[in-house]
Amino acid sequence: MGRVPPPHTNLRRVPVQRRSAERLARILDAGAGLLDEAGYEQLSTRAVADRAQVPIGSVYRFFPNKRALVDALAERNLELYAERITGRLADIPAREWGAAIDAVLDEYLAMKRTVPGFTLVDFGPPAPLVDSPDEANRRVAGRLATLLADHLGHVSGGRGGGTAGPATGAGGEPGPLLVPDGGAGGGPAATDDAGLLRTVLVCVVAADALLQLAFRTDPSGDPGLIAQTRLVVRSYLAQVLG
């Protein structure tokens, strides 16, 4: 059975009992499987209820519509992604940013190939809101900036947008990193290092666009385009980090 979303998900009703949490997990699992089979446009709450073997009222108890269900699925994906990266980074020494970036890309590729529904809904819905098309990428960047702080160090947050060497706090250690609201799972809601967050956001947006192309070309991900994605991100970070 899949994982339930974290407590801060904007659910109509947050499960407090094990049975309710398991039912929510079944609903999300059903939605993920149907996304792979039929796509977002054909997804319906009725089909989700049938697949999860729950009354339709159970779906509406948690979600007002399929968009809300997909949002919760995207958030669950981000939590799983963060956990997988955290496990990988634990074995990578601080400031070894190349290995850290490889871990970030490798875990994304593994989820793209194995996690149900992830192809259409990774960290955001397949049809983003018109007024906030970059919301998912910003949410991912905020989370990654926190996870990668020790490996990327501080980056100058100057207005010019050019490259700069890393900046450190007292004793040569990275200074405090705060991320946008919702990006750190309970962390502070502002940043004193806009440069680091911006650098990670550039990497996320660039990699997202290139990997979308790689998986449109090949269901398993075009190896050449994946290699180019890795090269683009590494080359950019080499310039920024010095």
Decide if pLDDT at 34 tops 70.
yes
pLDDT at res. 89: 97
Decide if pLDDT at 40 tops 60.
yes
At 15, the pLDDT band (50, 70, 90 cuts) reads: confident
CA distance 89 to 109: 16
pLDDT at res. 75: 93
Q: Is 60 exposed, middle or buried (0-12, 13-18, 19+ CB in 10 A)?
A: middle
pLDDT at res. 192: 43
CB 117, CB 173: distance < 8 Å: no
pLDDT at res. 242: 74
Considering the entire predicted model, what is its pTM? 0.80
Would you list the domain boundaries of the chain?
74-241
Helix residue ranges, H only, the chain: 18-38, 45-52, 56-62, 66-89, 97-114, 135-147, 149-152, 194-217, 223-241
Stronger pLDDT, 101 or 195, i.e. the higher one? 101
Residues 201-224 have pLDDT tens digits of 999 999 999 999 999 999 999 999
pLDDT at res. 2: 61
Name the residue among 199, 108, 190, 112 with its Cα closest to residue 148.
199
Where residue 221 falls (left for φ over 0; alpha for ψ -120 to 50; beta otherwise) is: left
Residues 140-158 have a mean pLDDT of 84
Residues 115-134 have pLDDT tens digits of 999 999 999 888 766 556 68
Residue type, 212: Q
Decide if pLDDT at 199 tops 90.
yes
Decide if pLDDT at 182 tops 80.
no
| Architecture of the domain whose range is 74-241 | Orthogonal Bundle (1.10)
Residues 43-102 have pLDDT tens digits of 999 999 999 999 999 999 999 999 999 999 999 999 999 999 999 999 999 999 999 999
Residues 190-196 have a mean pLDDT of 67
Decide if pLDDT at 142 tops 90.
yes
pLDDT at res. 188: 38
What's the mean pLDDT when you consider all of the chain? Answer: 83
pLDDT at res. 10: 66
| Helices 97-114 and 223-241, packing angle to 10 deg | 150
Decide if pLDDT at 104 tops 50.
yes
Q: Which two tokens stand for residue 25?
A: 């997990």
CB 146, CB 152: distance < 8 Å: no
Q: What is the DSSP string of 119-148?
A: TT-SSS-SS--TT-TTHHHHHHHHHHHHHT
pLDDT at res. 170: 33
